[in-house]
Amino acid sequence: MTHYNAPFEIHVHGEVRLRADVGFDALQDALKPLWKYAGARSLADGATSAYEEEPGIRFEAPEHLLRMCWTVHGDEDFRQALDEMCMSLNELADTGAPIEVTFYDAEFDEDGEDDGEESRDDFVMLFVGPTPAAIMQAQRDLLVEDVVNLMERHFDGAELGGVVGEIDKLFNQRFDALVHSLELGKPPRGAGGSSGHGGGGRRPRHLH
């Protein structure tokens, strides 16, 4: 697929730790929505970014890492490719990880601001992980980092334990709600269903 006169330059940035048993073929299949969108026939062909100075999509096999700093020209339909990629990466990820996606309006003329024209730039934060708990952990860690960085302009880091504790409470409530919803979907005990714990996985760890 070749995107002539594409309205956006779309930048995908992130680092995902993969399971030790994940090889190149599995990763190539998981990332097919991206490289196919770029008009490539393989990951090796599509891993190069639209900008030479960006490293593109790299598989660091010894470290079991997927690193992405990759730009492609496209349209709003790229969001579907992102959804498909995230679903596939969930199956390969070893831990939760954030992926940043920025849509730059390639057609926007800054001079047009004087005429009331607005840029269509957009930013999307996606998360992948092997379990809902792992994804929540990545969301929690990123939020804590952002909040602490903001508040350290005004407070010493040692004073922010209470703030972090409140963030943990919010995520624990969300996790408990998820586990409860999964339990509701299970058959009652004695009706042929398993009596094990819910499918939410391990509770995200806390920062004390």
Could you state, in order of their start, the residue ranges of all structural domains in the chain? 8-130, 131-208
Q: What is the pLDDT of residue 171?
A: 85
Reported as a single tens digit per residue, the pLDDT across 153-188 is 898 888 888 888 888 888 888 888 877 776 666 655
Is the model's pLDDT at 1 over the cut of 60?
no
Rounded average pLDDT over 111-135: 82
Q: What is the pLDDT of residue 208?
A: 33
Q: Please tell me the least confidently modeled range out of 21-25, 167-171, 185-189, 190-194.
A: 190-194
What spatial distance separates the first Cα and last Cα of the chain, rounded to whole Å?
50
Q: What is the pLDDT of residue 46?
A: 97
Report CA-CA distances (Å) from 148 to 52, 139, 169, 191, 204. 35, 14, 16, 48, 19
Q: Please tell me the least confidently modeled range out of 6-15, 96-105, 132-141, 151-160.
A: 151-160
Spell out the residues 6+ positions from residue 19 whose beta carbon is closer than 8 angstroms to its own.
Answer: 64, 92, 93, 94, 130
Q: What is the pLDDT of residue 87?
A: 97
Q: What is the pLDDT of residue 123?
A: 95
Tokens at 35, concatenated: 């490289």
Q: What is the pLDDT of residue 186?
A: 60
CATH of domain 8-130: 3.30.70
Rounded average pLDDT over 110-126: 75
